[in-house]
């Protein structure tokens, strides 16, 4: 069954979604109220949603500006702010900026096919890296609370290796398993 969240009641609703086809193993639904992130999973060209694209672009633009301002403040005050947690956060901010810029610039680039595939792979990697960096921040906080005394050696290199290395492994496995068929749309 296919559902979406009803904005008035906060409960699941089928409004705006229609069943396209179904069998024992697959159900295909079509909904008319997805965000720009739906582009990442779309196998065909989405109908024009100018208002949604405009709002998503404005939201991403504001996020990019605020992240850049934060990075500038970090750079100016770095000698006072330098810590493992702030290094992780600075990496998170840079990765988020790259992900937002790639999302804004790359989602309309469906031709040539290779360019579309590169954008899809890059978005997959960047968003996985964002999630892994948030996990690393949580792990750093956890270890700061559990280990009362300062650590003899920083675990920051291991956290950053995990944050950027795990997404490489996941994307590589996905690329190999799908033979790049799962990356990018079929049409312009």
Q: Is 57 exposed, middle or buried (0-12, 13-18, 19+ CB in 10 A)?
A: middle
Closest of 62, 58, 60, 67 to residue 101, by C-alpha:
60
β-strand partners of 31 = 17
Determine the Cα angle at 114 with ends 112 and 56, to 5°. Answer: 75
Beta pairing class for 12-13 and 4-5: antiparallel
Residues 93-131, buried b or exposed e (16+ Cβ, 10 A)?
Answer: bebbbbbbebbbebbeebeeeeebbbbbbbbbbbbbbbe
Please say whether the beta carbons of 104 and 57 come within 8 A. Answer: yes
Residue intervals of the chain classified under CATH 1.20.1070.10 are 45-178
Assigned token pair, 45: 């060209």
Q: ω before 112 within 30° of 0 (cis)?
A: yes
- Per-residue pLDDT of the chain (188 residues), as tens digits, is 334 444 455 445 566 677 888 888 778 877 765 544 444 444 455 555 577 778 888 888 999 999 999 999 999 998 888 888 999 999 999 999 999 998 888 777 666 777 788 888 899 999 999 999 999 999 998 888 887 777 778 889 999 999 999 999 999 998 888 877 767 655 44
Instruction: Show Cβ contacts of residue 134 under 8 Å, excluding neighbours closer than 6 positions.
Output: 92
On whether the 45-178 domain is CATH 1.20.1070.10, my answer is yes
- Average pLDDT of every residue of the chain: 80
pLDDT digits (tens, 9 = 90+) for 145-183: 887 777 778 889 999 999 999 999 999 998 888 877 767
């Amino acid at each position: 069954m296919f559902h979406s969240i009803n904005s008035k009641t906060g409960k699941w609703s089928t409004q705006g979604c229609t069943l396209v086809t179904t069998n024992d193993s697959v159900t295909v639904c079509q909904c008319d109220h997805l965000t720009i992130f739906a582009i990442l999973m779309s196998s065909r060209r989405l109908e024009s949603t100018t208002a949604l694209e405009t709002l998503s672009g404005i939201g991403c633009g504001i996020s990019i500006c605020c992240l850049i301002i934060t990075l500038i403040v970090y750079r100016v005050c770095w000698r006072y702010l330098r810590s493992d947690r702030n290094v992780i956060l600075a990496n998170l901010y840079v990765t988020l900026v790259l992900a937002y810029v790639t999302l804004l610039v790359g989602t309309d680039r469906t031709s040539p096919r290779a360019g579309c595939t590169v954008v899809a792979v890059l978005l997959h990697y960047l968003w996985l890296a964002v999630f892994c960096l948030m996990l690393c921040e949580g792990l750093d906080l956890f270890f700061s609370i559990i280990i009362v005394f300062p650590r003899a050696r920083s675990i920051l290199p291991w956290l950053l290796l995990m944050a950027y290395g795990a997404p490489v492994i996941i994307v590589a496995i996905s690329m190999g398993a799908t033979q790049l068929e799962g990356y990018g749309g079929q049409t312009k």
